[in-house]
């Protein structure tokens, strides 16, 4: 697990966007796993701007979103499909037919979960899986006690997650308590996992994920077992790590090595 500590939220977004740009320049027909929520918005804006400047193109990309509320139609403004269309897909050159979001309004959600898994496999798997993290350590809607080998499935939301997301729904409006989410096992099959976190409210979850035991009580801790995970956090989100300066030192050494490779002092 590579932990990268940046000064602030904009720097986190820039670092994450750089990784996406590098992937697109290397492999234009990449498959991306995408996330919703406030944390990835700045990253999406970086990628939108790069697309508008002609630096990258999403025209050959296929995408699979992590999760969706159950019992919300795609047109509902609080659905994750509507979020992705509004905040990202409609502002880049992606073919929306190649953008997949779990169907929260599926007549048979159990069958829909299996079909979603099959679609990811048929696409050749996910090249970069983008994640945020909940205050309780959840990734996607894999809440504490989730099976660390789980696949795409229907999941009940915890009261904390429901309360955290209540701000997006009007008073008295129906708020889902069930979701369809990629499983932890599904996430772990991505070639690269990128997790972003900003703000003091995520500091304990980041500490538990990076330093705690691998446990279903902190679903994100499973990423300790992933061979290629990068965790990009700001100073506040890193504030409870035992030795943040060591992670900064590691990143400095990594960047120095990359610079050497690019200067051809070592074979690439």
What pLDDT digit, counting tens, does each position of 59-69 carry? 999 999 999 99
Whether residue 268 is predicted with pLDDT greater than 50 in this model: the reply is: no
The rounded percent of the chain whose pLDDT value lies above 70 is: 99
Please give the positions annotated as active site. 67, 136, 138, 143
Is-contact 230 17, C-beta < 8 A?
A: no
Whether residue 267 is predicted with pLDDT greater than 60 in this model: the reply is: no
Whether residue 22 is predicted with pLDDT greater than 90 in this model: the reply is: yes
Cβ-proximal residues to 102 (8 Å cutoff; 6+ apart), any chain: 65, 67, 68, 112, 113, 116, 152, 180, 181, 182
Whether residue 80 is predicted with pLDDT greater than 50 in this model: the reply is: yes
Whether residue 110 is predicted with pLDDT greater than 50 in this model: the reply is: yes
- Does residue 256 or residue 168 have the better pLDDT? 256
Residue of 124, 126, 103 lying closest to 115 (CA atoms): 103
- Give the C-alpha separation, 251 to 6, whole Å: 10
- Give the C-alpha separation, 37 to 161, whole Å: 12
What pLDDT digit, counting tens, does each position of 164-202 carry? 888 888 887 888 889 999 999 999 999 999 999 999 999
CATH 3.40.50.1360 for the 2-262 domain, yes or no: yes
- Give the C-alpha separation, 217 to 235, whole Å: 24
Token pair for 143 = 């809440």
End-to-end CA gap in the chain: 22
Segment among 112-121, 183-192, 236-245, 247-256 with least mean pLDDT: 247-256
Is-contact 63 32, C-beta < 8 A?
A: yes
Is-contact 155 136, C-beta < 8 A?
A: no
What pLDDT digit, counting tens, does each position of 84-93 carry? 999 999 999 9
Whether residue 109 is predicted with pLDDT greater than 80 in this model: the reply is: yes
User: Could you tell me the pTM of the whole model?
Assistant: 0.93
- Give the C-alpha separation, 37 to 198, whole Å: 12
- Does residue 161 or residue 8 have the better pLDDT? 8
- Give the C-alpha separation, 5 to 11, whole Å: 9
DSSP state, 109?
H
Total residues belonging to the chain: 268
Helices (DSSP H) in 33-168: which residue ranges? 41-52, 80-87, 109-122, 159-165
Which pLDDT score, from 0 to 100, does residue 186 have? 98
- Give the C-alpha separation, 15 to 1, whole Å: 16
* pLDDT range class, residue 98, cuts 50, 70, 90: very high
Mean pLDDT of 141-155: 96
Mean pLDDT of 148-175: 88
- Does residue 170 or residue 54 have the better pLDDT? 54
């Amino acid at each position: 697990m590579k932990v990268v500590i940046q000064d602030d939220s904009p720097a986190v977004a820039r670092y994450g966007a750089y990784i996406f740009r590098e992937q697109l320049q290397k492999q234009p027909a990449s498959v991306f796993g995408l996330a919703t929520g406030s944390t990835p918005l700045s990253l999406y804006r970086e990628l939108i701007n790069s697309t508008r400047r002609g630096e990258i193109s999403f025209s050959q990309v296929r995408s699979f979103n992590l999760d969706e509320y159950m019992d919300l139609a795609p047109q509902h403004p609080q659905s994750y499909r509507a979020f992705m269309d509004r905040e990202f897909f409609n502002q880049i050159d992606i073919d929306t037919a190649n953008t997949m979001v779990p169907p929260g309004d599926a007549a048979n959600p159990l069958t829909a979960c299996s079909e979603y898994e099959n679609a990811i496999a048929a696409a050749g798997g996910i090249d970069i899986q983008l994640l945020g993290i909940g205050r309780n350590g959840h990734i996607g809607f894999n809440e504490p006690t989730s099976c660390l080998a789980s696949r795409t499935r229907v999941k009940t939301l915890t009261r904390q997650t429901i309360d955290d997301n209540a701000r997006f729904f009007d008073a008295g409006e129906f708020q889902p308590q069930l979701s369809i989410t990629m499983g932890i096992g599904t996430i772990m099959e991505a070639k690269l996992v990128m997790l972003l976190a900003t703000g003091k409210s995520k500091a304990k979850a980041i500490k538990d994920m990076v330093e705690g035991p691998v446990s279903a009580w902190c679903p994100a801790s499973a990423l300790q077992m992933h061979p290629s995970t990068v965790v990009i956090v700001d100073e506040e989100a890193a504030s409870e790590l035992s030795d943040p300066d060591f992670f900064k030192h590691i990143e400095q050494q990594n960047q120095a090595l990359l610079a050497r490779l690019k200067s051809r002092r070592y074979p690439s």
